[in-house]
Structure 1
C-alpha cells in the first residue's frame, strides 16, 4: 500500500527549512561578531589616542633605597662579632654604634691603661716642672744676691777713687805752689817736704783703691759666672726632667690605643634603616658582612632599560612603576641615567624572556616611598614616558 503524497514530500521540506534557519542564524551571529570586533577596535583606537602606551619605554627593574644598600662589615673578615646593638627595621643615624667586635673589651682595657699612664705622666710632669722652676727661681735669686752687693761695693770703691784723685790733684797744685814759693824764699824746705809727702801718700792711696776696684770687679765676675752656671744647670734640669717623663710618648700611646679601640666599634656610615642582619653575636664575620643598611625614607626604582631604548631616556621624564604586590601603581621621575651597558640582572618569569640582554640602569626617584619602604629588591615593571 503506498504512502500519502504529503508524506513523500514532507521530509525534504523540513530539512530545507532547518538548513535555511541554520544559515540565517550563522549570518546573524557573524554580523554580531563583526560589529563587536569593530566596536572593540574603535575602543582600542580611542584608548590608544588617549594614552599612546606604544611610545612608552618599558623595562623590568628592582626597588632599592636612596644611595643603594650598604653592606656594613668589619675591618677584617677573620673578626668575630661580640655584641650586636640593633635589630632589623631599626632606624640609625650616621656614627651610631651598631655592634662591637669580640676584641672590644681587650682594646678598651688597653685604652684605659694608656689613659691612666698618660694621667700619671702629666702629674709627674707637672711636679717635676714645678720643682725645676723653683730651682731656677732660687738660682736667679742667688745671682741677684751675688750681683747687687758687688755692684754696690764697686760703685763705692769708684767713688773713693774719685775722691782720692780729687785730693791728689789739690795736693799736686799745693806742692807746685809751695815749690815756687820756696824758690822765691817765701817758705821753708820743711813746708815743701810736707806737701811732697802729702802727694806721695795720696798717690799710694789711689793705687790701693784702684787695686781694690779691680779685685771687686773680678770677684763680681766670678760670683756672677757661678750664679749663671747654677741658673743654667737649673734650666737644663727642667728640660731633662720634662724629657724623662716622656709625656709625648704617653699621648701617642693613648691615641694609638683609642684608634685600635675604634676599629672594634662598628658604626653606621650614614642615616638609614637596618634591612637585614647577616651575622649574630659570637659568629665569625663572612663576606656578606654584618648587616645591610639603606635609607628607605626615599626609595628608587632601578630600571634595566634596553640599550636600544636608552638614548630616548632623559632625566626628569615621568615614569610609572607597577607590581602585582602593589594595590596601585607608583609614580616617579628619572633621576639618573647610567653610563655603562651591562648584562641584565632582573629577568622575567616568562621562559621566552631575554636572559642575556644588554641594558643600562636608569634610576627613578619615587614620588611616594611609603608603600614600598619595606620592599627593597622587589621586582617591578617600569614604564617611562619619553614625551
Structure 2
C-alpha cells in the first residue's frame, strides 16, 4: 500500500510539472505573437542663445578726417538727437583757415583768367609769343586744380552723418581733440535687431525665416522677430550669462533676428538678451 501511495504522488507531481511547462510555452508564444510597440519620437527642441540688441548694420563711429588729430570747434548734435544723411554733425577748428585758402584761390583764378583773356587778344595780333600764351593757360589750369583741392579740404572740415539715424553717444565735444573713438556713435534705431550667438553645434538647425522670441528682464514682454541672416564665420562667444557652469570658451555663429516692433528696443542698444529660435 505504501508503494501504491508513492506511485500516486509521483504521477501527480509529474502532471503538475507538465502543466507548468505547457503554460510557459503558451506564454512565450503569446509574447512572440504580440505586436511591437514603437517608442514616440523625441520632440524637436528650440534653439536657445544669448545675444544683444543692435540697430540695423550695427553702430557707426563717426570720426573726423584722416591724418592729424582735429579739434572740434562746434558740435551741432547731442545724445538722442535724430539726424539725416548728409547733416552736419560737427565743425572742425581748421574751417576758418581753409575758408581763407579757398577765397584766396578764387581771387587768384579770376586774375589768371583775365590775364589769359588779354593774352588771347594779343596772341591773335601776334604781339606775344605762343609760348607765353601757353604758359598763361597752364597757370589757369594749375590754379583751378589748387582751388578744387582747397574746396575738398574745406568740405572735410564739416563732419556729416552717413545715415538717417539717431545719436547714441557723444565721444568728443567743443574744444576736444578727436580721438580713435571718433566724435559720435550713430545707429538706425528705427530698425532694431537681436544678434543671437548660436553654438556651432546648433547652427545647422537655423534657417532664414525661422521665428524667434527675444526676452530680457528689462523688456516689459517678449519681442518677436524672424531670422534674417546667418553669418558665414565661426567666432568666440562674447555674450556671457550668469550661469557659472556655462561654457566660457564656446564657439558660436552670429544670427541676425529682425524684430517685428523696434520701438521697445530702440533705446536699448547692446542690451544682453535671451533668444529662442523656433525649430
Normalised by the length of structure 1, the TM-score is: 0.57
* Structure-2 separation of matches of 1:290 and 1:92: 14
Looking at CA atoms only, which structure, 1 or 2, has the larger radius of gyration?
1
* Structure-2 separation of matches of 1:122 and 1:89: 49
* Structure-2 separation of matches of 1:108 and 1:81: 16
Matches within 5 A, 1:1-387: 55-74=45-64, 75-76=66-67, 78-129=69-120, 131-132=121-122, 135-136=124-125, 233=126, 237=129, 240-241=132-133, 243-244=135-136, 246-386=139-279
* Structure-1 separation of matches of 2:106 and 2:84: 29
What is the Cα deviation at residue 110 of structure 1?
Answer: 1.0
Q: How many pairs were matched up?
A: 235
Q: String of CA shifts for 1:98-125, please: whole Å, max 9, x gaps.
A: 1122212111211221122112222332
* Structure-1 separation of matches of 2:178 and 2:205: 44
Does structure 1 retain, via aligned residues, the 8 Å contact 2:112–2:136?
A: no
Q: String of CA shifts for 1:342-361, please: whole Å, max 9, x gaps.
A: 11111112333322211110
3-state SS, counterpart of residue 345 of structure 1: coil
Richer in helix (by share): 1
3-state SS, counterpart of residue 274 of structure 1: strand
* Structure-2 separation of matches of 1:274 and 1:128: 56
Q: String of CA shifts for 1:161-189, please: whole Å, max 9, x gaps.
A: xxxxxxxxxxxxxxxxxxxxxxxxxxxxx
Richer in strand (by share): 2
Stretches (4+) displaced over 6 A: none
What is the Cα deviation at residue 239 of structure 1?
Answer: 6.4
Q: String of CA shifts for 1:228-263, please: whole Å, max 9, x gaps.
A: xxxxx35x6466335326110110110111122222
Does structure 2 retain, via aligned residues, the 8 Å contact 1:77–1:287?
A: no
Instruction: Kindly report the root-mean-square deviation, in angstroms, between the aligned alpha carbons of the 2 structures.
Output: 1.9
What is the Cα deviation at residue 284 of structure 1?
Answer: 1.5
3-state SS, counterpart of residue 55 of structure 1: coil
Q: String of CA shifts for 1:279-337, please: whole Å, max 9, x gaps.
A: 11111122211111111110010000011101100111111111111111111110111
* Structure-1 separation of matches of 2:244 and 2:157: 48
Normalised by the length of structure 2, the TM-score is: 0.78
Does structure 2 retain, via aligned residues, the 8 Å contact 1:128–1:238?
A: no
